[in-house]
Amino acid sequence: MPFYFIQHWENWNGSNLEVAETWKLPLQKIVIAPWLQDLATNLGEPSEYIPNSVDSGAFGMDNPIENRNSKSLLMTYHSMDSKGGKDGLSVINQILWKHGDALITVFGTGPAPVKLPIQVQYVRNPSQSTLRSLYNNTSIFLTTSLSEGWGLPASEADDVRSHGGGYGCGWTSSFHD
């Protein structure tokens, strides 16, 4: 049977009604998080929950947290409003104001944010091995997304035991399932 792989309530290119109509299509629904399964149930649609996972071979811990600079922070950035990038930049500016010696790195798929402070390193489209290194050399991972299906970067950071901070936005309910 054909299936619909649901990773989020993807309404950034359409209305909530249009998204709900796609969920009503005669397809087997596979969801990646319990909160998405709850949405399916509320729409009267059966679904199967198959959680995402992190490949520990790709994102394992190489550098124990106690060996990392305690003032090192890593954040993923996206310009979409729901990803909270502006909030993250505000937090970074506050950290730098109080802790000028903080080591901060931001990564993303697009160009560096225009308002990124000069002392912050930006890594565009990091490879898997570069991401592993970034996670393993950072004590704090900041996630600013206001809405996520799963929260994969935060899950990857958790796999190397970076301390995390961010908003509760759906995926946090299934973060350690």
3 state SS of 14: coil
**Residue 70 sits in the same domain as residue 151:** yes
**Residue 112 sits in the same domain as residue 170:** yes
Domain end (from 49, 68, 86): 49
SS (H, E, C) 17-39: HHHHHHHCCCCEEEECCHHHHHH
**Residue 76 sits in the same domain as residue 151:** yes
**Residue 20 sits in the same domain as residue 96:** no
**Residue 37 sits in the same domain as residue 80:** no
Q: Give, rounded to a whole angstrom, the gap between the first and last alpha carbons of the chain.
A: 27
**Residue 90 sits in the same domain as residue 119:** yes
pLDDT more than 90, % of the chain: 60
Query: What is d(CA 27, CA 85) in angstroms, rounded to the nearest whole number?
Result: 34
Mean pLDDT, 10 residues at a time, the chain of 177 residues: 90 89 96 93 96 79 91 92 90 96 96 94 96 92 78 68 53 46
Domain count, the chain: 2
Domain that holds residue 91: 56-174
Query: CB of 142 within 8 A of CB of 75?
Result: yes
pTM of the model: 0.75
**Residue 133 sits in the same domain as residue 99:** yes
Strand segments (E) across 35-126: 47-49, 72-76, 103-108, 121-124
Q: What is the CATH number of the domain that holds 67?
A: 3.40.50.2000
